[in-house]
Structure 1
């Protein structure tokens, strides 16, 4: 009898799963035949009660879940409904509906729950510190970011410090290669690993000062071990299932806390100020942005550990996206299978060289660099091909979203979660010209010069105005234009939660590429087929810029007369 009773358990579960599939499949068939003008997105059938699609959604292969959905589920529906661990989630496919969702009033739909999860689960902020921050503190933090980071003038100030540290690091590398001895072949390095070390040091120092590496010497190692584990924490992977993400989070927050406490001790009773000293950068706290943030967090009486969690969030935003994006761009620029890309990129960079800004602190004209057509097309294609974000909103009142089909409106009910995955639109085969969407095409966003459209500018940036000293470039046969595809692109999120570092990020990526390519020559290894751009690293949906699933080996040499860098 006991054995029979034991057999009834799996049999009962199997019957329950079968019933669940039949029921949800019937609801799906009814929904797709509904000709109502206003209707909820049709439900995706699932088998496991309550958990629903959670296992498929958490498959650590970027885009795989949405790709499977779209193989049999038409984009024309505009959206889909699914169940994630008891939560009613509405996937939004329609570009028009996504844009309407981003413009929705915050009392109708907002991302507060997701932001709380990111800060508390992902970054380790304690509930008592979050209670001090939520509301007025969050609004004040946004004002600080707008003043010192989001505006182009603030981003340019930070970029000068970034370029200063990056140049210093590259000069040290050039000297190292000189000591090692120049030869025709050069030295073999792993390209992304080589690049990442310089960029992380430069971006972190430019924002946080140089003392952070003294007080927390293991920062670089710990950060890159923690970075791929962040989503495990965000999606709530229990500690008994995988303790590593939790351990690494505690280690990094503890290290950041030691830096903050050391700075507090050095300052005594003084509160950091963006205007004291009256310099854009100082070695202890770094930039005006971080000094302003620290002054705000102290005014809110947030603990040192809480401040560390917030600054870890800024450190994450700085490095977890811009650094791998630069790595992807550099890999595709050097790809020997497309040998014409590197000389054309070098020509665009050279057009911006030896101009300098009004203070003589930059060795290239930034507006010229930022608006080169092939560089912009390559950057846009990286954002399309390698960005995986989930724009998420909690729905607090029933709302209606228009779609491209004027006869159909998506109805989202109160209490549901709206989710717009970038993968759906970034890989829409009808949305982009050029090569198939599952192939990387650096020229995808180039058009003949006489068809030039609006350039890809963040809404916060002023229209392009060439520097008065910019060299006059020859007329190119092509121009950059995202065209209609631009509306489908959501690489930085949207609405109030759009990435505040997006203005600086583009400057950081373009400047890093220019400095690296002006100072060093790269060549693939001699063996045929040795240069293979890696695929995506295993990661959950919503990881931002998808990491490298490997690296490439290249030979590197110093560029310039007598081995001297071109930009110093």
Structure 2
């Protein structure tokens, strides 16, 4: 009996594989019209390819099948009761997309994550039959998007400055990917959700990427036993963190502060986009659904933005001439605001748009699913996508289809599709003499069928416009404020990921990429220099003059009343004899006196402006005045610099000076560096 069972276990799979192989090739060669795509050979009837997916993982299995059977596409892969029809021809993909509900799923999504968030995607939710409108799209375009970009740039600049990189020495980062993955994710989340979420959940960023790594390749709604438990554990932990955040900061029914006079960002409540979104979500969903919807925003804002931005920097650094050109572009496009960037203008530049599409084409590998629920969909004269099946295509597979690219636009294959070429989507114009970077007009004309290869789809929550602008903001900050160099360019070439190894999922370097970083030296003589306030050698004399004038008096004065002018305050408070301006300064050095008097005029001590009477004493009135005239303007921030020098004398009598410099930028949308 055992022998017969053993024979059956060997013979049945062998016969099944032989029979399904013969049927596969027979169907492929059949010239009949409207036929169903052939099914890839399998070993066990009823189980089909389930064991293969469980053993290899979906990304590697589909990659292997593309390599072995790609020439026979479209073909079918069966996982339990589900049938995936692999599409490779761009025309087939377009027809499947038009005829079915397109589901661009995250490569790391589960059933619950992919539950339609209608009130975010369609800006409309419904509860008890009553529609509730959420006009959140306004925050992802125009002036509101510009404000979010400036906020993100400020967060990124501040975060990098916290690392205390120096201007006169290099700091080596051993793993460029891991370092910036943490930095960019934190800045992206903080821009939308505020900084309080990290005080409540300090390990959010690390846990988020643990979740992403554990969930890779499980976004196809596989049978439950194939979904990893570790993935679910990380998800539950993150959802609990999001739920704790909104219960603390978005409690009640009137938590959203989105009026015209309210700030665009709050460290506790987050951006107006999140406040208004969550206000609508809370009205139509349970706490669990609310946490999932907000987490979906976090997924959408990071899973493509972070790898795209990091790969953009890596590829730019691999080409020094491109890095030099783009750095020059960022400087020339610099905003007139101190520390600002014209993100909108930079994003619109043809080379930047081409670079972003090329990164998406070569370094982002996503799967695209097309659900055919109602009726058969004709793909061409020979093949039909059966009702009930799921069409599936892979962006990187289309990205490397040289035949289709050459047919669509021969220019795009002038350089192999396997290598990065920032100018691939440009129509060349007149080149500048000795320029190593091509210029021209950005165009996608003729490439419409190939759009899935370079991100030509609408993000399910956040707009492509938002993601592209944030990617540009990342490049602008890093190129303008820091010098970054590859430590070993040849080692980087060896670390590039192998193409076609995975059909979809995270694309990362095979090994850590080491870089060195230092701050760009500021040139305050240029038009982009910031407004810098330093303690100068005459500061004590100026403070002494304020004291001599009685303007630092902390005791109440009966004569202080509402409506009193500054000139009168000065005359009443003065304790020195003689109220003329030179006498007020009380200094024999005429040049020093003129400087101090100029400062007093700037403060308004001699003016007819009305004083803001606070607390009934002069010092508080002066502070109220200074608070007005010394407040930061839009986009401005402070800079704190501390430097210590230590002279060390060694045993042999020699001396050496060590310098320690602390440099910290404030946040133009948050705390100052002095806080």
Equivalent residue number for residue 146 of structure 2: 156
C-alpha distance in 2 between matches for 1:542 and 1:423: 7
Task: Give the RMSD, CA atoms, in angstroms.
Answer: 3.9
C-alpha distance in 1 between matches for 2:372 and 2:138: 32
Deviation at 1:566, TM superposition (A): 6.6
2:284 paired residue among 278, 289, 300: 300
Aligned residues: 510
Equivalent residue number for residue 384 of structure 1: 361
Q: Is 1:341 equivalent to 2:322 in the alignment?
A: yes
1:9 paired residue among 2, 5, 13: 5
1:293-332 alignment runs, 5 A limit: 293-303=277-287, 305-332=288-315
Q: Judging changes above 3 Å, is the alpha-carbon distance between structure 1 residues 197 and 540 closer, same or farther for their aligned structure 2 residues? A: same
C-alpha distance in 1 between matches for 2:398 and 2:148: 33
C-alpha distance in 1 between matches for 2:392 and 2:46: 19
Deviation at 1:509, TM superposition (A): 0.9
1:523-534 alignment runs, 5 A limit: 523-525=485-487, 529=491, 532-534=494-496
Q: Is 1:365 equivalent to 2:353 in the alignment?
A: no
2:475 paired residue among 508, 513, 520: 513
Larger Rg belongs to: 2
Q: Is 1:69 equivalent to 2:65 in the alignment?
A: yes
Equivalent residue number for residue 45 of structure 2: 49
Equivalent residue number for residue 279 of structure 1: 263
2:374 paired residue among 364, 388, 397: 397
Q: Judging changes above 3 Å, is the alpha-carbon distance between structure 1 residues 187 and 502 closer, same or farther for their aligned structure 2 residues? A: same
Deviation at 1:233, TM superposition (A): 5.5
Deviation at 1:273, TM superposition (A): 5.4
Deviation at 1:365, TM superposition (A): 2.5
Deviations 1:44-88 (A, max 9, x none): 22233333334555676896544433445355x662222122312
C-alpha distance in 1 between matches for 2:165 and 2:120: 48
C-alpha distance in 2 between matches for 1:73 and 1:528: 35
Q: What is the SS of the residue equivalent to 2:308?
A: helix
Q: Judging changes above 3 Å, is the alpha-carbon distance between structure 1 residues 218 and 497 closer, same or farther for their aligned structure 2 residues? A: closer
Deviation at 1:539, TM superposition (A): 9.8
- Contact 2:365/2:395 (<8 A) preserved: yes
Q: What is the SS of the residue equivalent to 1:39?
A: coil
Equivalent residue number for residue 137 of structure 2: 147
- Contact 1:559/1:566 (<8 A) preserved: no
Deviation at 1:286, TM superposition (A): 1.0
C-alpha distance in 1 between matches for 2:346 and 2:304: 20
- Contact 2:361/2:455 (<8 A) preserved: no
Equivalent residue number for residue 350 of structure 1: 331
Unaligned runs of 5+ in 1: 124-129, 452-472
Deviation at 1:541, TM superposition (A): 4.8
1:399-548 alignment runs, 5 A limit: 399-403=376-380, 408=381, 410-430=383-403, 431=405, 432-449=412-429, 477-485=439-447, 487-490=449-452, 498=460, 500-525=462-487, 529=491, 532-535=494-497, 541-543=503-505, 546-548=507-509
C-alpha distance in 2 between matches for 1:491 and 1:288: 33
- Contact 1:44/1:80 (<8 A) preserved: yes
Deviation at 1:477, TM superposition (A): 4.6
C-alpha distance in 2 between matches for 1:46 and 1:369: 52
Equivalent residue number for residue 167 of structure 1: 157
C-alpha distance in 2 between matches for 1:496 and 1:139: 12
C-alpha distance in 1 between matches for 2:247 and 2:499: 36
User: Structure 1 residues 206-215 or 417-426, which shifts more?
Assistant: 417-426
Deviation at 1:563, TM superposition (A): 10
Equivalent residue number for residue 21 of structure 1: 17
C-alpha distance in 2 between matches for 1:28 and 1:537: 27
Q: Judging changes above 3 Å, is the alpha-carbon distance between structure 1 residues 238 and 232 closer, same or farther for their aligned structure 2 residues? A: farther
Q: Is 1:559 equivalent to 2:529 in the alignment?
A: no
Give the number of the structure with larger relative contact order, counting CA–CA contacts within 8 Å between residues 6 or more apart: 1
Q: What is the SS of the residue equivalent to 2:383?
A: strand
Q: Is 1:92 equivalent to 2:87 in the alignment?
A: yes
Equivalent residue number for residue 642 of structure 2: none
Q: Is 1:252 equivalent to 2:229 in the alignment?
A: no
- Contact 1:150/1:501 (<8 A) preserved: yes
Q: Is 1:270 equivalent to 2:254 in the alignment?
A: yes
- Contact 1:89/1:416 (<8 A) preserved: yes
- Contact 1:162/1:203 (<8 A) preserved: yes
Q: Judging changes above 3 Å, is the alpha-carbon distance between structure 1 residues 145 and 59 closer, same or farther for their aligned structure 2 residues? A: farther
Deviations 1:73-121 (A, max 9, x none): 355x6622221223122122221222222223xxx54549x79x94644
Q: Is 1:196 equivalent to 2:177 in the alignment?
A: no
Q: What is the SS of the residue equivalent to 2:452?
A: coil
C-alpha distance in 1 between matches for 2:89 and 2:470: 32
Equivalent residue number for residue 462 of structure 1: none
Deviations 1:258-300 (A, max 9, x none): 1122124xx4453535448733222222112211221122211
- Contact 1:370/1:507 (<8 A) preserved: yes
1:79 paired residue among 71, 74, 80: 74
C-alpha distance in 1 between matches for 2:490 and 2:457: 47
Q: What is the SS of the residue equivalent to 2:168?
A: coil
